[in-house]
C-alpha cells in the first residue's frame, strides 16, 4: 500500500527505531551497506516527527549464540542453518552483550525513547522481530510483550525505521500487522543486508498490508 496522502494521528502512533547499533554500521561486525546514511533522517523523525511514543530495539546476544556461524562446524556467515526445524541465516558474531558493537549509536536522541526492547537474548533462539522471537526449542515464537505495552499506551499505528530492511525491520513489520497494528514503513530510513531483494520484499510487505512511504510523507501529515 502506497498512499498519496498519509494521515498519522499523533495520539495513537508510535515510532519504532530498529537496531541502530554500531555493529550494523559500516565497519561493524555485520555492517549494512550505507547504514549510516539513515542517521540524520532518523534523528529528525525522533525529534520532530508526529509521535507520542518512541520505542527503540537493541540486538543483545550472549556469547556463543546459536545464530552465529562460529558455533557450527563447516558453516560460514550468511550460509543457511536449520534451527529448531526452521531455516535461518548464520551470522557473523555480532551485537554481543556489553560490547561496543552492541551499543545504540550515540548520534541519535535516545532521550526521547520511552522503552528499549532487547532481543536475541536467548542463546538457543534468534530474534529478528521486535514483537516475537524466532522459533525456540518448543516450536513457538514467544512474544516480547511490546504489543501489549503499546496497546496499554493507546497505540494503534506503528511506524518502523532502522536496520536492517530485509531482516529485523521486515519481520517486525509483518508481526505488527499480525498483531493488529496499522503499520507504516519509512522506506528511505532503512537499509538492507541484501538490497538485491528489495523489490521482492517491498512487494511482500505491501501485499500483507504494510503502508510503505518516504519519510517526507510522514512530516507532511
Active-site residue flag, 168: yes
The SS3 of residue 56 is strand
Listed in sequence order, the residues at least 6 apart from 144 whose beta carbon sits closer than 8 Å to its beta carbon are 117, 119, 127, 129, 130, 131, 132, 133
The SS3 of residue 127 is coil
Within 10 Å of residue 48's Cβ, how many Cβ atoms? 10
Cell numbers describing residue 53: 511514543
Active-site residue flag, 19: yes
- Catalytic position from the list 36, 126, 161, 168: 168
- Catalytic position from the list 19, 59, 93, 126: 19
Check if the beta carbon of residue 163 is closer than 8 Å to that of residue 132: no
- Catalytic position from the list 59, 119, 161, 166: 119
State the catalytic residues. Answer: 19, 119, 168
Amino acid at each position: 500500500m502506497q498512499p498519496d496522502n498519509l494521515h498519522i494521528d499523533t495520539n495513537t502512533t508510535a515510532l519504532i527505531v530498529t537496531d541502530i547499533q554500531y555493529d550494523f554500521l559500516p565497519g561493524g561486525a555485520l555492517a549494512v551497506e550505507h547504514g549510516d546514511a539513515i542517521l540524520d533522517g532518523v534523528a529528525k523523525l525522533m525529534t520532530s516527527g508526529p509521535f507520542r511514543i518512541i520505542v527503540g530495539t537493541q540486538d543483545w546476544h550472549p556469547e556463543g549464540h546459536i545464530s552465529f556461524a562460529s558455533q557450527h562446524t563447516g558453516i560460514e556467515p550468511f550460509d543457511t542453518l536449520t534451527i529448531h526445524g526452521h531455516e535461518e541465516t548464520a551470522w557473523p558474531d555480532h551485537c554481543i552483550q556489553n560490547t561496543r558493537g552492541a551499543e545504540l549509536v550515540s548520534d541519535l536522541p535516545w532521550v526521547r525513547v520511552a522503552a528499549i526492547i532487547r532481543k536475541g537474548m536467548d542463546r538457543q533462539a534468534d530474534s529478528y522481530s521486535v514483537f516475537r522471537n524466532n522459533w525456540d526449542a518448543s516450536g513457538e515464537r514467544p512474544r516480547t510483550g511490546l504489543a501489549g505495552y503499546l496497546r496499554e499506551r493507546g497505540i494503534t499505528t506503528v511506524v518502523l525505521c532502522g536496520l536492517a530492511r530485509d531482516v529485523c525491520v521486515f519481520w517486525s513489520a509483518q508481526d505488527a500487522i499480525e498483531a493488529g497494528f496499522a503499520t507504516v514503513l519509512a522506506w528511505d530510513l532503512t537499509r538492507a543486508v541484501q538490497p538485491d531483494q528489495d523489490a521482492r520484499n517491498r512487494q511482500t510487505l505491501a501485499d500483507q498490508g504494510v503502508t510503505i512511504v518516504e519519510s517526507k510523507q510522514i512530516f507532511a501529515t
